[in-house]
Structure 1
Amino acid sequence: MSKGRIIFHVDMNSFYASVEMAYRPDLKGKPLAIAGDPEKRKGIVVTSSYEARAKGVKTTMPLWEAYEHCPDLIVMKPNFNRYREASQHIFSMLSEVTPFVQPVSIDEGYMDITEYTRGENPLEIAHSLQKRIMDELDLPCSIGIAPNKFLAKMASDMKKPLGITVLRKREIRNKLWPLPIGEMYGVGKKTEEKLRSINISTIGDLATRDPYHLKQLLGINGERLNSRANGIDDRPVDPDAVNEFKSIGNSNTLPFDTTDRKEIDQLLNQLAKKVSERMANKQVFSENIQLMIRYSDRKTITRSKQLNQLIDSSSDIFSIASRLFDEHWNEEPIRLLGITAQHLVLKEEVAQQLDLFNYEKEAEKEKLYQAMESIEEKYGKGTFIKHQDNPQPSVTTSFQKDFLNDYKKNKKN
């Protein structure tokens, strides 16, 4: 790996459970799960120790079912402050190795050490970092080493817990391509089904298919997955990624000034679809929708709605923009309308742990399991975004998103 970039993906192993074990060493070696209401034997498993996983306990499994698989399961409530504190220590250690550290959630992040090896072998740096995190925090992690982010992410998943895996481009044919297509980062159940329908069962099958045909099947994501399967990923490790608040917007001038609500709704719907399509191309969610109204006298106002959710569908965007219009239109003739999706978040970097603040409420409705499965099918394993029963989504900001915001603030200080 003397040429090109040297990227680490550091992934904490069974993070929440491991943090609890670090505070209570008597829990080590025992089946442990983190869930919401152990006393009432209700709730969902957020994460579990490897001992519990070996007995069939899985993330998102109802607690009663987890007990059936593992009667001696030890269950603890989540301790948010404890996890935040541990994560801050971890990323502080990463930042001592290189300034190019990009957190993507509370328990994982990328590092670019290309210019910061100081003559050391990358494997030695990885072993030293892994050992330091274990020695100082008593927390296990796996590290993937590769020339880009995608391969580093795949490498870190190849050996857990406490694994260190190097994945070079020249090795992808032997190490990466034989893996089942469902194990590829970014391929969820629905995408897997579509790929298998055209006889793509391994990552190698995907890598050797015509990108044009994949685009016909999956849109731009087909081309992207084909490139990744061939080891191509030019995304930089961006320390300022958590500071970025980009936007995607579209506006249109009406053919004539109007107060006709039907015409206004038609235009809002068209704009929402355009914004949603562009968001799909960029593979992003939004948590803020802005509406611009320009009247016949050229007076222009902008009003926005900060959401406690992440959205990307045209129906959701239209619904929010329409409500903003109802609240702020003065009933004067309209000349121009615009919709902008703001505070964008990459889908692949959406937090991979459950939204601990919400999952109990949803479990009571027995809708969470379906919602989580639906989202993971659409956007890939590890993604969790919560949907409500009604068509208007109302997802609260996740614990992971809060962590990234805290990280951003700490960097500025």
Structure 2
Amino acid sequence: MPANDLDVDMSELEKRRFTCDEKCGLCCLCQAELLPHEVDLFKRSYPNRIVMKDRPHRHVALALKKGEGPCDFLLQNRRCSIYKDRPHYCRQFPFHMYLGTRVQVELDLSCRGVWTDQGEDALVAGGQLVAENAEALRRTLQESRAVYREFEANCKEAGIYRPAEALRRDLAPQIPRFADVQYLARVLDLSAEEEEMEIPGDAGPEYPRRELEGSAMETGLESLSAEDVYSAPVYCDPVGRWNIFLAQDGGVEWSVMNDDGGLTPVRTIDPAQVKLLAPEGQGLDVFTSYMRTLNARDSALGYAYYLVDDYGYEDFVANTYNGTMATAALDLLWRASLIAHVRGGKLDRQGMIEGIIAYDMDRLDAPTIGAFL
């Protein structure tokens, strides 16, 4: 069925192309869920290479090597052994379709192939995905809109509401300042106040540099925390190594996942030795562009809404949204500085891109009150 009756935003895809970086295979570390109509094929053809999962809901998924590594169908040359039969989950990558009050197609910027400016037109491919899934999108959008209506009503009743368009409009002019950790500290302080905040036009009082670096390190370590090493963030570097960074016992355990699912420890990184860097040259343009992308993403807004709901509607929506955006910027700067620390480099254009590659998949995995299809 045609999808022209759907409210769809694909602005993030404009002027972007994408291809598959054959060294990468990052998408093959995401355990692919099978759609109901795909289950029969895999039960018939590959019965020993699928598993039943209970979280976040009961579903059938492709098996992983050693139960925790890459997809069991990934060959040693990083090619898919069932490429023609690969499930929808794999075909959709690196696109994410988020449903809140509308459908928004977002692009996973941890995929190295989206930075090559080669291959398929992302806008065309995204439009095809929407058309192919129009019926499911209509059905799910009804549900997500109901959730959003309930959220808005709860916010208005609590006296903490501010419209999404106002949140984004107020933040947009100040986004270039988000590369300044002094300014981020000011935003975070204001977001913690009991009164509804307005985005400041300057950094205000100067904070001690050591205090700022300590806050950035704490934010970065929290985002690198996980139940186990296989649940920790993965960074696929330019030569295709799957680097895993796990915050543990005050340090960062750095390992490389092998193609068979095994782990090779590299070393323990002292986070205090990671110098918090500032974007420079074209790196500042890359950073600012990414923060503008976050400000336009419905899923980023949905994460702030999730926190408002989780905190029991006690904080102003503006405070929570601005606080989450400042935290994201601080987290990204520290993550990018960590990557620069291990690779040897700075936050120039390529250094900032590497930081985003190491960060964006985690950002897209954050909980929201909407739904990813």
TMscore range, shorter length: under 0.3
Larger Rg: 1
Q: TM-score, normalised by structure 2?
A: 0.27
Q: TM-score, normalised by structure 1?
A: 0.25
The structure showing larger relative contact order (alpha-carbon pairs under 8 Å, at least 6 residues apart) is 2
